[in-house]
Chains A and B, each alone.
Chain A
Amino acid sequence: MKLITAFLILFSNLSLAQITTQETYRRGQMIYNEFCVRCHRPDGGGIKGIFPPLAKADYLKNIKETIRSIAFGLKGPIVVNGVNYDNSMAPMGLDDQEVADVTNYILNSWGNQHDEEITIKDVQMLNSDKP
């Protein structure tokens, strides 16, 4: 059992290392620095009460909602880490690959960790949700 746990930890760390060293993460970082950084800040901390944080944000646990927000924008009240936000984020006009890339970056930066890479297919699956 211990061995399996150790193996799992090792494996998850390996896959984390893989995402942060992959092209998608590097591209995602460039998108982030161009489209997101002004409000969500270089450290992903946001501005409390105005722009929600992304670093260790409970909101990101809902991966589909995270992808939808990035792809289609977000409007109205949300709660992130117990703090209320009521602002709007206009759609950024990113293509599906760019949405996947920046999602991978956000999900694996500032202490965030999501072992499974978001692919263009994950984004395309949600395209029918477009408001």
Chain B
Amino acid sequence: MNRFFSLFFVLAFLGACGQPEVPIKTPENIDYSLSLVVPDLDVPWGMAFLPDQSILITEKDGQIIHYKDGIKTSIQNVPPPYIRGQGGLLGIALHPNYSENNIIYFTQSTSEGSEKLGGNTALYRAVLNNNKLDDVMLLYKAQPNTKRGVHFGSRIVFDNEGFLYFTVGDRGNRDLNPQDITKDGGKVYRLTSNGQIPSDNPFVNVTNAKTAIYSYGHRNPQGMNVHPVTGEIWTHEHGPKGGDEINILQAGKNYGWPSITYGKNYTGTTITKDKALPGMEQPLHYWVPSIAPSGMAFVHNSKYPNWDGSLVVGALKFNYLERLVISDGKVAYREKIAVDIGRVRDVVLGPDGLLYIAVENKGIYKILPKT
């Protein structure tokens, strides 16, 4: 009986506030090498490969760079972002039919679309035509503007049905934004490729709701991708001190910030006593201490014999790329790749089956398997 109760309490404890510890490994046998592909970048925030295998790169200060055959060209006619703290030009993605319509999407902080001082995250669409943007359209602008310099999001992906998802962080107003679906911020949004609200979005029938919202209760998601096998949308987000998370998105779900978290304030004080509450989703994984995750890619049909099936995530804070093996819905193994490379802002699996990482103050490296 006692044993039964002990087991019960251990299980309840694990269920409520714990995950088995999976310490990160630093492999001694390095079976890859790093090759600098695009040198001399400042804060390369996002990357997208064009069909000809050239690369579009967003620099946070407001440039979209087209890198082709060793030459960098700055794309003309990019609307200037509102530069403030973590804000600037952020994510970039291609339309699923880019090869026919040349449409690209990008997110950036802007003062546009509001009288108020400050800025907020916005999604833009444009046609890329000979290294110039035409028909630049503002598709969605988070409101209101604020001078807060933190938590803008903002990654963009398309799911397998052609819906667009993008992320906006809580904009430094955790008490007001993330838990309120009538407000922007702390959300993942879902739109059609034209910027319309899909009729099956979860909150289309809720009075006053921001109907572009797909999921809420997020802090600052800066990694998002589509699982290559299941088609699910995976995100990660920066926690406070501790409590970075990986989540698999489901329509209308609440991911808990700031009502539940595994983290604390930067000063070490408590945000909430709760790590789990009814009606709020538990993360697939959380990082304590925080690694400051940025960029996310699945290794799939790759050139790496031992890495297929892994998830890779940039660790801004500790200057490496983290590789995670997921098994039965849990993280089973973690290791460091490219140790001490610098602040890894984004990671993409290129069309050549190789991983490309964008590193602040350096540039873009590709990771080559040793043969």
Complex interface bits, B307-326 against A, C-beta within 8 A gives 1, otherwise 0: 00000000000010000000
What 1/0 mask marks residues of chain A from 74 to 93 whose CB sits below 8 Å from any chain B CB? 01000000000011101111
Q: Which A residues lie within 8 Å of B60 (CB)?
A: 90
Contact with A along B36-74 (1 / 0, CB 8 A): 000000110000000000000000110000000000000
Q: State whether B267 touches A42 (Cβ < 8 A).
A: yes
A50 interface residue per 8 A CB criterion: yes
A54 CA / B251 CA spacing, docked (Å): 44
Residues in A whose Cβ lies below 8 Å from that of B361: 75, 86-88
Say yes or no: is A37 at the interface (Cβ < 8 Å to chain B). yes
Q: Does B172 contact A (CB under 8 A)?
A: yes
B85 near A42 (CB under 8 angstroms)?
no
Interface residue ranges of A88-127 to B (CB < 8 Å): 88, 90-93
- A88-B42, A88-B43, A90-B60 known; A35 vs B266 contact (CB < 8 Å): no
Interface centre among A34, A92, A93 (most CB of B within 10 A): A93
> Is B150 touching A91 in the complex (CB atoms < 8 A)?
no
Give the docked Cα–Cα distance between A93 and B108 (Å): 14
| Contact flag A90-B43 (CB < 8 Å), given A34-B148, A34-B150, A75-B361 | yes
The yes or no answer to B202 lying at the interface (CB within 8 A) is no
- Contact indicator B267/A93 (Cβ below 8 Å): no
Nearest 10 Cβ contacts at the A-B interface = A93-B84, A88-B361, A93-B83, A35-B85, A35-B149, A42-B267, A90-B43, A34-B149, A37-B266, A92-B85
Binding site for B on A (CB under 8 A): 33-35, 37-38, 42, 50, 75, 86-88, 90-93
Query: Could you show 24 A-B contacts with beta carbons less than 8 Å apart?
Result: A34-B85, A34-B148, A34-B149, A35-B85, A35-B149, A35-B150, A37-B266, A38-B292, A50-B319, A75-B42, A75-B361, A86-B361, A87-B343, A87-B360, A88-B360, A88-B361, A90-B42, A90-B60, A90-B88, A91-B83, A92-B85, A92-B149, A93-B83, A93-B87
